[in-house]
Structure 1
Amino acid sequence: MTVTEFPPLLSEEDLQKYKVPLRWRDRCAAHFALYHLCLKRQSADTSVDCKHDKHAWEECENLDLIRRKQELKEVKEQRRSELQ
C-alpha cells in the first residue's frame, strides 16, 4: 500500500483514547493508533501480524517529513526573494 495522502486528523478525545504520545500527535497519528492497537492484539494472539500497519505509519511519517522539508524550502525561497 502506498500512502498518497494523509489520514484525517484525530480529535483530542481520540488522541487521549488511543493514548497517542505527544511526540507522535501529528498528521500520521491515526496510523500510529492503528499500529499500536495491532500490537496490543498481537500480544494476546501471536498469529496477528502488524507489519502492514507499521509500514503504513512509517510511510506516512516519511511523506510528512518530505512535505515539511518542501514547505521549509518554499518559505526560505520566499524570504530570499523578499530581501532582494
Structure 2
Amino acid sequence: MAASTTASQEELKAHRVPLAWRDQCSSLLIPLNLCRKQKLYKPWECEHERHTYDKCQYDDYVRRMKELSKLKLAAAEEE
C-alpha cells in the first residue's frame, strides 16, 4: 500500500480512530466515518467512501496473502 493511504498519528488521534483500525487504509476511514456521522449512518449515503475503504482493505489482504504464500514456498524449498 502506498504511504498516502496511511494517516498520521495526530490525525488518527484527533478523529478518535480506535487502535484496531489504524492500518494501511486509515486515511480512507476518516472521511468515511465523518460522512457516516453527518448522514446519520444511512448506508446509501456514503457508498463511495465505503467502497473505496473496502477496496483498500481487500487489496491489503491480497498483498499480505501473497507475501505469506511466498514465505511458505521459500520455507518449503529450504527443507
Common fold, TM-score beyond 0.5?
yes
- The Cα shift of 1:33 comes to 1.0
CA RMSD of aligned residues (A): 2.0
Aligned partner (choices 60, 67, 71) of residue 64 of structure 1: 60
Aligned partner (choices 49, 55, 69) of residue 73 of structure 1: 69
SS state at 2:45 partner: coil
Aligned partner (choices 7, 11, 15) of residue 8 of structure 2: 11
Q: State the structure with bigger RCO (CA 8 A, min sep 6), 1 or 2.
A: 1
For structure 2, the residue ranges without an aligned partner over 5 or more in a row are none
Q: Report runs of 4+ in structure 1 exceeding 3 Å deviation.
A: none
Give the corresponding residue for 1:42. Answer: 39
Whether the aligned pair in 2 keeps the contact of 1:34 and 1:53 (CA below 8 Å) is yes
Q: TM-score, normalised by structure 2?
A: 0.83
How many residues are treated as equivalent by the alignment?
76
Whether the aligned pair in 2 keeps the contact of 1:6 and 1:60 (CA below 8 Å) is no
Q: TM-score, normalised by structure 1?
A: 0.78
Give the corresponding residue for 1:22. Answer: 19
Give the corresponding residue for 2:50. Answer: 54
Identity rate, percent: 32
